[in-house]
Amino acid sequence: MTQLSHDRRRVLQAIGASGALAVAGCLGGDGSDAEPNGDDSDETDTDESGDENAEAESEALPDAKDVTVDRIAREPTDVPDPVDWNEPREHDITIRTTHETAEIEPGVTFDYMTFEGQVPGPMVRVRRGDRVNLTFEVPKESNTDMHNVDFHAVYGPGGGADATTLAPGDDAAEISFTAEYAGAFVYHCAIPNMDQHISAGMFGSIIVEPEEGLPEVDHEFYLGQHELYTDGEVGQEGHHGFSFDAMKAEDPTYVVFNGQAYGFTPDGVGPMQAETGETARVFFASGGPNKTSALHPIGNVWSRYYRDGDLLSDPARNVETAPVAPGTTTVGEMEFRVPGPVKIVDHALSRVVRRGALAVIDVQGEENEEIYDESP
C-alpha cells in the first residue's frame, strides 16, 4: 500500500466518511481514496522515496506498552470559570509533573511528559493584579527527568524557570508573582532539553483577564497543538520512542491537539458540543516546539479574534485563518448560526489529512435555510 493511500484510509477511519469528505471539501478534493492522477493501486511505490518509505515501515517497533492513563488528552471543557471579582485576589496553585504512557491513537503508544497528567497542562486563570503563589513539584515516583516551569505571564528570571528547576524527588519549589499584564499566555518546561519536553506534552496556558473581564459566551474550549517526533511512522502500531533526529530536522511524525491524533472527533474520544444560536470561545495554545499553526475553523470564522492572546486591543473581526507561533496562546470566538460540524484545523493541511491535527465541534439545532441551504 502506498503512503498516500494508507494516510487517506486512516483519515476515513479516524473521522468517518462524512467527516473526511468535509475535510476534502476544504482541501478541494473529492474525498475518495484514490491516488493522484486516478491511480488507486495498492502496489508499493518503486521510486527512491517509495523504497525509503517501505524500508521505514518495515522496521518493527517494540510492542505497545501498557498505558498509565486512560487518555492523555485533556478535556477541552476543562476550563476555570471566568473572572467575576473586582478586587485583586491571591491564588494558591500547585502543579506537579508526571511522566505518562498513553496512546497517540489506538495501538500506538508514546511516553509523554506532562503537567498534572494530561496535555496540555491545566489552565491557570486569574485577573490582572492578582497574586499567584505557586508550589511546583517533581515527584520521584512519576518522573525520570529534571523539570521546571516558565510562565510567559511572569516578570522574573526565566518566567520562574530559574527558581523552579528540580530533579525528581527534590523538595518542592515555591514562587510568588503578581499578574502584572493582561493577556493569554503559554507556560512550558524550560529545562535545557526544552524542545523535547514541550513536544512530549509539557506546556499549558495562563489567562490573565483584564480588570473588566471578557465578554460572556456560552462555551469555552481549551486546545493545545504540538508536534510529536517519534522513531515510527504515522499509524504504525507499537511503542514509539522519541526521535531527536526527527526533532532536529523539524520533521514530526504527528501534529496533534491535546496529545492525541484525531482525538476530538466522532471516532476519537468524541467532539465538542454546542447548539445553534450559541457562542463559543476557543483558547488555543501552540506549544510547538517548532511549527507555526495556521488556525482555521472549517464552516465558520473567528468572529472576534484576539491575535497573539492580546486581550486589551479591540479584537479583529471575521478572521478566517490566523498564524499562531510556537509559544503563543491565542483566543478566538465564534457564533453557531447553522447546525453541523465545525472543524478546528491547522490549515497547513497535510497536518490535518496525515498527522492528526483535527478537532470537531458538533453543532446541533434547527436548520436555517436563509443562511445555508444544502438542497435549494
pLDDT at residue 345 in the model: 98
Question: Residue 31: is its pLDDT beyond 70?
Answer: no
Q: Please list the alpha-helical segments (H only) found in 43-113.
A: 48-58
pLDDT, tens digit, for every residue of 323-360?
999 999 999 999 999 999 999 999 999 999 999 999 99
Say which residue the cell 496529545 belongs to.
259
pLDDT at residue 188 in the model: 98
Question: Residue 23: is its pLDDT beyond 60?
Answer: no
pLDDT, tens digit, for every residue of 42-80?
333 434 444 555 444 558 999 999 999 999 999 999 999
pLDDT at residue 59 in the model: 80
Return the closest-CA partner of residue 69 out of 342, 208, 258.
Answer: 258
Q: How far apart are CA 152 and CA 103, in angstroms?
A: 29
Q: How far apart are CA 146 and CA 209, in angstroms?
A: 31
Q: How far apart are CA 279 and CA 42, in angstroms?
A: 45
pLDDT, tens digit, for every residue of 236-254?
999 999 999 999 999 999 9
pLDDT at residue 237 in the model: 98
pLDDT, tens digit, for every residue of 148-159?
999 999 999 999
Q: How far apart are CA 348 and CA 366, in angstroms?
A: 32
Q: How far apart are CA 347 and CA 321, in angstroms?
A: 7
Q: How far apart are CA 24 and CA 12, in angstroms?
A: 11
Mean per-residue pLDDT, 282-310 = 98
Question: Residue 8: is its pLDDT beyond 50?
Answer: no
pLDDT at residue 42 in the model: 38
Cα 304 to Cα 316, 323, 344, distances in angstroms:
6, 15, 15
Q: How far apart are CA 90 and CA 67, in angstroms?
A: 37
Q: How many CB atoms lie within 10 A of CB 116?
A: 15
What's the DSSP call for residue 70? S
Q: Enter the C-alpha cell of residue 129.
A: 493584579
How sure is the predictor about 107, in pLDDT bands with cuts at 50, 70 and 90? very high
Whether this prediction's pTM lies above 0.75 is answered by yes
How sure is the predictor about 20, in pLDDT bands with cuts at 50, 70 and 90? very low
Which pairs with CB-CB distance under 8 Å and at least 24 residues apart come from 35-40?
A: 35/2, 35/4, 35/5, 36/4, 40/5
Average pLDDT score over the chain: 89
What are the two backbone dihedrals, phi and then psi, of residue 181, each rounded to the nearest 5 degrees?
-125, 135
pLDDT at residue 267 in the model: 85
